[in-house]
Structures are given as C-alpha cells and as structure tokens.
Amino acid sequence: MEQDMQIYLDYQATTPVDPRVLEAMMPWFTQSFGNAASRNHAFGWEAEKAVDQARKTLGAAIGASGREIVFTSGATESNNIAILGVARMYAPKGKHVITCSTEHKAVLDPMHALENEGWELTVLGVDEQGHINLDELRSAIREDTTLVSIMHGNNEIGTLHPIGEIGAICREKGVLFHTDATQSLGKEDINVQDMNIDLLSGSAHKMYGPKGVGMLYVRRRNPRVRIAPVMHGGGHERGMRSGTLNVPGIVGFAKAMELCLEDREGEQAKIAAIRNRLQERLSSSLSHVHVNGDENNRLACSLNISFEFVEGESMLMGMHGIAVSSGSACTSASLEPSYVLRALGVGDELAHSSIRFSVGRFTTEEEVDRAADLTISTVKKLREMSPLYEMAMEGIDLSTVKWSGH
C-alpha cells in the first residue's frame, strides 16, 4: 500500500497509536515483561504496579476508582462481560433487559444471545437523529428489568445519547445502567458518579492506544455491581475476567488517556473545526446532501453524510487514497445496508449513498481539503452517470416511481 498517498479519515474505525504511547509501552515487552499475577518476584511486582497505576489513571478519567476498572481485550469483550455477566448474575431478580436499535453489534448480539437463553429483550427505536425517546425508556423499565444498555457516542453517525439523563432514569427505577463509551472515552466529558453509570466499556485503539486492550468499569459502591464471569480461569481481575493481563497494552491505554486529557476540550474543538470544514466544503459544493445523525450533538470527529443519487461503493472506488467507510450494502460483509441508518427511518436509498468520514488528532486541513475535492468530483462524475439524478433533474419524484426491484 502506498501509504504516503493515503489520507486516513476513518478514525471511528481505529486510530493510529500515538508515538508517545508506543514509547511508553516499549519497556514492558522486553525488559519489564513480568506477569502481573506473579506475586512472588520482582518481575511480577513491577508489572502489577504498572497495571495498578494504569487503573488509577483510567478510573480517574471517568470519576471512578482504579479498583473499579477491569481490563479486557477490547470493547467487544467489555460489552459481552457487562451484558452477559450482569444478566446471568441478576437472573433471580428478573430476566428483562433493554437496549436500542443503533447499538454496536457487540451489544446487540449478546443481547440477542440472552433472548435465545430465555430473557426478554426490549429494543428501543430511535428518531431521525438517532435519539431514543426517554419517556419510552422510562415506561419500558419493568419490575423484572435488570439492565439497560445504551451507548454514548454512536460509531456510525456520531449521535451522542444523553447518558446522564438515561443514568438518572435507571437509578430512579433501580436498574443497572451500562454504556458503551468506545467512541467517546477520552473525548467527551464522562463522570460515572454524576451520570449514574454502573458499567462502562472502553477501548484503547479508538483513542490512539494499541489494539487488543479494553476496559470495563464496574461500580463497587451504591450499588455494588456483581458480575458472573464470562471468561473462566485463574481468577484475575477479582474473578470477573480471567486471563493474563496485557501489561504493555494496559500501560499504553493509560498513556493514551493521559494524552487525551492533557487538553481534551482544546483537542476536541480543533477536531470539530476540521470536521466542520469538511462538512461545509461538501455541502456548499454539492446539492442533495444529507448529514445523518444529530448535527448539534455528535462526536467531534464524526461526519456521516449521504450523497443522493450515487451509491456508496462506487464512490469509494472513485475516491482513491481516501480511507473512509460507507453504509452501502455493497461494502458490508452482510450485503445489507447499514442497520443504523435504516433505524433512523431515512430510507434505504440514503443508507446506500452514505459515507462516514471521521477525522482525528493527526488530520490536517490540507488532507480534508484534498478529500473534499476528490469527493466532490467523484459525486459529480457519478451523478452524470446516474439515472436517478437524471430523473430528479427532470422533476420526477423518485418516491412515486414504481421500481422493478430484484
């Protein structure tokens, strides 16, 4: 891959490791390689100390204590432990759980797994901006509800759920609240006390840390959350997640968090400005574009935009060297258009025409300008080739056309 020519605008998929993070990790591979669970020698003590320091850093970042942080292999595992672990532990209280339709598959799939095991599942719908209705949430909570899982920032459209308000409802109703904060950790203001969050999932590689390490915050007081282990074994992480700790990864995760918090608001404002520059260029040069999600309340990095009358995969083909994602069916393994965009009720055709741009710490104005230029020329070229654009220009309302389908 000729990386010099490539422009990376897919920060919601993953981020590069910050060189300062890598530097902090290096000694923990070859010199200080001990197993944090080795209690009887210096190698182990050294590793354990580093892990405990990382716990404190990551806990403090969300208003928690280090002892409430469980290290995992990533947010998928954190979500699985939170959902399956809580549901199974609290099964005697009830077997009803609640989530929403735009969650990541790492939440939806364990929820559906519970359903197959006899739990009842309520999946809340969302409005056109990707928000759940809080009254609907309130009335969905029942006597036998044990867990509500609603994400913070959406990975496709960037919409931020009001997790503080959701937490308050859950607390008032006496049910546990889990939030998947994979996209927002280190970026948005999160405080598990103020927001009444009982469990929170995060991942290092979305915030300039390494892949393969994640965390799960598990509240210890008011209330003390208990979890049935999903991973059985040596009893690491107070029995909640067995398995040797990834010490270099954990050190890197904490370093990444430190860097994010150095000037969190300043960095997020800068990232939002670059995102807005891209959005402005695209919307001012092209007609018939739709920003998906909640423009006023979304992750700073995120721009999900549909270009009417052109199909996403064909756009990606034209945008050489620009690394982005599409909600088009043709770009997904399942050959289905994005379920998140479909959940917004904006029409499948807009899902097929969507591109997700996500910018980050290392994105420059020059890069988004080049990406915008190439996107604009590609959309124009493909619209010249699009029968839908031609019909729309002729004044035909495409929603009234009887299509043959296939």
Residue 146 one-letter amino acid: T
- Please choose, from the candidates 15, 57, 12, 6, the residue with its C-alpha nearest in 3D space to the C-alpha of residue 361: 15
Q: Select 179 or 328, whichever has its Cβ closest to other proteins.
A: 328
- State in angstroms the smallest separation of the CB of 285 from other proteins: 20
Residues 241 and 231: their CA atoms lie apart, in Å, by 6
Dihedral angle at the C-alpha atoms of 194, 197, 200, 206, nearest 10 degrees? -40
Q: Positive or negative CA dihedral for 151, 155, 159, 160?
A: positive
**Does residue 328 belong to the site contacting other proteins (CB under 8 A)?**
yes
**Does residue 266 belong to the site contacting other proteins (CB under 8 A)?**
no
Residues 99 and 122: their CA atoms lie apart, in Å, by 6
CB 290 within 8 A of CB 308: yes
Window of 169-177, 197-205, 311-319, 354-362 that interacts with other proteins by CB under 8 A: 311-319
Binder among 269, 390, 393, 396 for other proteins (CB under 8 A): 390
Examine the residue annotation and report whether 330 is marked as an active-site residue of this protein: yes
DSSP assignment, residue 44?
H
Binder among 331, 338, 354, 358 for other proteins (CB under 8 A): 331
- State in angstroms the smallest separation of the CB of 80 from other proteins: 29
**Does residue 393 belong to the site contacting other proteins (CB under 8 A)?**
no
**Does residue 168 belong to the site contacting other proteins (CB under 8 A)?**
no
**Does residue 309 belong to the site contacting other proteins (CB under 8 A)?**
yes
**Does residue 378 belong to the site contacting other proteins (CB under 8 A)?**
no
φ/ψ region of 399 (left if φ > 0, alpha if ψ in -120 to 50, else beta) reads alpha
CB 351 within 8 A of CB 339: no
Range 105-115 burial, b when 16+ CB lie within 10 A, else e = ebbbebbeebe
Q: Select 215 or 319, whichever has its Cβ closest to other proteins.
A: 319
Residue 315 one-letter amino acid: M
- State in angstroms the smallest separation of the CB of 405 from other proteins: 5
Residue 168 one-letter amino acid: A
Window of 29-37, 77-85, 261-269, 324-332 that interacts with other proteins by CB under 8 A: 324-332
Please give the size of the binding site for other proteins, defined by CB under 8 A: 29
**Does residue 317 belong to the site contacting other proteins (CB under 8 A)?**
yes
Phi first, then psi: what are they for 305, rounded to 5°? Answer: -140, 135
Binding to other proteins in span 348-377, by CB under 8 A? 348-349, 352
Q: Select 15 or 331, whichever has its Cβ closest to other proteins.
A: 331
**Does residue 330 belong to the site contacting other proteins (CB under 8 A)?**
yes
**Does residue 396 belong to the site contacting other proteins (CB under 8 A)?**
no
Q: Select 40 or 401, whichever has its Cβ closest to other proteins.
A: 401
Binder among 44, 313, 370, 374 for other proteins (CB under 8 A): 313
- State in angstroms the smallest separation of the CB of 155 from other proteins: 21
**Does residue 384 belong to the site contacting other proteins (CB under 8 A)?**
yes
Indicate the helix (H) or strand (E) that contains 326.
Answer: strand 325-326
Residue 216 one-letter amino acid: L
φ/ψ region of 212 (left if φ > 0, alpha if ψ in -120 to 50, else beta) reads left
**Out of 100, 260, 301, 330, which one is annotated catalytic?**
330
- State in angstroms the smallest separation of the CB of 51 from other proteins: 42
**Does residue 310 belong to the site contacting other proteins (CB under 8 A)?**
yes
3-state secondary structure at position 388 = helix
Window of 61-69, 140-148, 223-231, 307-315 that interacts with other proteins by CB under 8 A: 307-315
Q: Select 273 or 330, whichever has its Cβ closest to other proteins.
A: 330
Structural tokens at position 114: 């519970």
Residues 42 and 385: their CA atoms lie apart, in Å, by 68
Residue 292 one-letter amino acid: N
Q: Select 145 or 292, whichever has its Cβ closest to other proteins.
A: 292
**Does residue 337 belong to the site contacting other proteins (CB under 8 A)?**
yes
**Does residue 347 belong to the site contacting other proteins (CB under 8 A)?**
yes
DSSP assignment, residue 331?
G
**Does residue 379 belong to the site contacting other proteins (CB under 8 A)?**
no
Residues 94 and 84: their CA atoms lie apart, in Å, by 14
CB 228 within 8 A of CB 218: no
Structural tokens at position 399: 């929603």
- State in angstroms the smallest separation of the CB of 205 from other proteins: 24
Q: Which residues contact other proteins by CB under 8 A? A: 309-311, 313-314, 317-318, 328-331, 335, 337, 347-349, 352, 384-390, 398, 403-406
Catalytic residues, by residue number, are 330
